[in-house]
Amino acid sequence: MRAWWGSLSLRARLAFAFGAMAAGALLFLLAIVARTIGIQNLEQGKIIPATLFAFAVFFVGGWFVAGWCLREIGRLGGRAVTTLSSTATGVTATRVLPAELEGLASLLRRETARHDSVLAELKRFTADAAHELRTPLTAMRTTGEVALRAAGDDPHSIANPVQLRSALETMLEDALRMNNLLERLLRLARLENDNLVLRHRSLQLAEHLATLCDNLHVLAEEKQQRIELHCPPAITFTTDPEILDHALTNILHNAIRYSPPQSTVRVDARLSPATIPTLLIDIADQGPGIAPEHQPRIFERFYRIDASRSRNGEDSADTSGAGSGLGLCIARTAIERLHGTITLNSTPGQGTCFTLRLPLVPHQPT
C-alpha cells in the first residue's frame, strides 16, 4: 500500500486525500443528522452510493484545486529563486516575495550562503595545497635539470660525485617534504570526516604525557632545550589517545621549533575547579611570541607568520612536518573532535602558551 501511494503524483495524492476527507465528513454529518432528528435506521443502500458520489465529486474538484495550487507554488517558487539568484550575484532585488514564501526564502538564503562558504573554502584549500606542492616539485625539477647540465651531453660521462650526491640529497629532502605534506593533509581530512569513530579508553594522564615528552626529548636536545612536565599522578580521564596525541605532538613540535636554544618548554596539566569537570593542559614556550594581528588566523590551514622559516635547510630536513602550516590546524581539529577547545595566549618577545580544555567524560551523541 505504501509503495502504491508513493508511486502516485503529488497532485493525485492531494486530490485523493481531499476526496477521502470530504467523504468522511459527509458520513460524520449524516451520523449527526440521524442522531439529531431521531432517525434510527438509514437505508444502507442510499448511504454508500451517496458517499461514493461525494468522494468522486470532491476527488475531481481536489484534482483541479491541487493543480492550481501546485502551479501557484511553482510560480512563486520561481520568483523566490529569481530573487535569491539576484541577491547571490550582488544585484538588488526589487520584487518583494509573498509572505507565504518568506520563511522558505530565508531558509534557501541560509543554505545558499552555507554552500557558497563551503565552496569558497574548498577552492581556497585546493589553491593552497597546489601552491604548497608546487614549491617542492619545482625545486626537484630545478635540481634535476642542474644535475643533468653538469653531466653534459655525453651519456657515457660521469658527473662529479659530490655534485651528484648533493643533488640527490636535495631531491630527497623535497620528496620528504611533499610526502609529509600529503600525510598531514590526509590526517586532517580524516579528522574532519563526520564518520570518524572515536576509540575511547581510560588514560592515566601523567604516564601518557611522560611517554609523549620522552619521545620528543631527542628533538629538544638537538637545540639544548628541556621539556618540563607537571601533572598530578591521580588524573585519569577517558578519551581517544590517538586523536589527543595529534594535538599534543603538533603543539609540542611547534614549541620546540620556535623556542631558542637552552630554553624550556613547560607542560602543565590540572583539573579545572569549574562545575563541569574539565581537564586543562598548558603548553608554554619561551619563543618569540605571536603578534596580535596573526593570532586570529594562526589555526588556519597553510597559515604561516614567516614563510621563510619553513623553507630553510633545517626545516626541509625535518620530517616531523613542522613549518607546513598545518600543525596547529590539525591540533585544533583534533581537540574539537574530542569536544574540547584550544586557546592561545601570546605576547611578542615573551613566548606563547596554548591551553587545551577537554571534558573528563566523553561526549555522548544525542
**Cα dihedral 136/140/142/144 (nearest 10):** 180
pLDDT value of position 343: 94
365 falls within a domain: no
Q: Per the structure block, which three cell numbers stand in for 48?
A: 454508500
Quick one: DSSP state of residue 365?
Answer: P
196 falls within a domain: no
240 falls within a domain: yes
Q: Which of 102, 118, 131 is nearest to 307 (CA)?
A: 131
**Chain mean position to CA 62:** 47
Angle at the Cα of 365 from the Cα atoms of 364 and 366, rounded to 5 degrees: 115
99 falls within a domain: no
Given a cut of 80, whether residue 223 has pLDDT beyond it is yes
**330 phi and psi, to 5 degrees?**
-65, -40
Digit-coded pLDDT (tens) for 321-342? 446 678 898 899 999 999 999 9
DSSP of 83-123: HHHHHHTTPPP-SPPPHHHHHHHHHHHHHHHHHHHHHHHHH
56 shares a domain with 142: no
225 shares a domain with 184: no
Q: Which of 223, 298, 308, 291 is nearest to 262 (CA)?
A: 223
210 shares a domain with 173: no
pLDDT value of position 307: 44
19 falls within a domain: yes
300 falls within a domain: yes
Residues contacting residue 252 through CB under 8 Å, at least 6 positions apart: 212, 213, 216, 227, 265, 267, 283
Q: Which of 327, 354, 346 is nearest to 289 (CA)?
A: 346
Residue 35's domain spans which residues?
A: 2-88
Asked if 217 and 256 count as a contact pair (C-beta separation under 8 A), the reply is no
Residue 202 carries which side chain, given as an amino acid letter?
A: S
E strands, 142-263, where?
201-204, 226-230, 236-239
CATH code: domain of residue 139: 1.10.287.130
Digit-coded pLDDT (tens) for 50-74? 667 766 777 777 777 777 776 766 6
Digit-coded pLDDT (tens) for 236-275? 888 999 999 999 999 999 999 989 999 999 999 999 876 6
For the chain, the domain total comes to 3
325 shares a domain with 212: yes
Given a cut of 50, whether residue 318 has pLDDT beyond it is no
Given a cut of 50, whether residue 309 has pLDDT beyond it is no
Cβ-based neighbour number of residue 47 at 10 Å: 15
In the block, cell 590526517 appears at 187
If pLDDT is split at 50, 70 and 90, which confidence band does 280 have?
very high
Query: Residue 327: exposed, middle, or buried by beta-carbon count in 10 A (0-12, 13-18, 19+)?
Result: buried
353 shares a domain with 256: yes
Residues contacting residue 224 through CB under 8 Å, at least 6 positions apart: 261, 262
In this structure, the strands spanning 278-284 and 264-271 are: antiparallel
The Cα–Cα gap between 273 and 343 comes to 18
- Most confident option among 10-19, 20-29, 298-307, 350-359: 350-359
142, 168, 189 - which closes a domain? 189
pLDDT value of position 315: 37
Digit-coded pLDDT (tens) for 131-157? 667 777 887 888 788 777 776 665 555
pLDDT value of position 110: 79
328 falls within a domain: yes
Q: Which of 274, 279, 263 is nearest to 225 (CA)?
A: 263
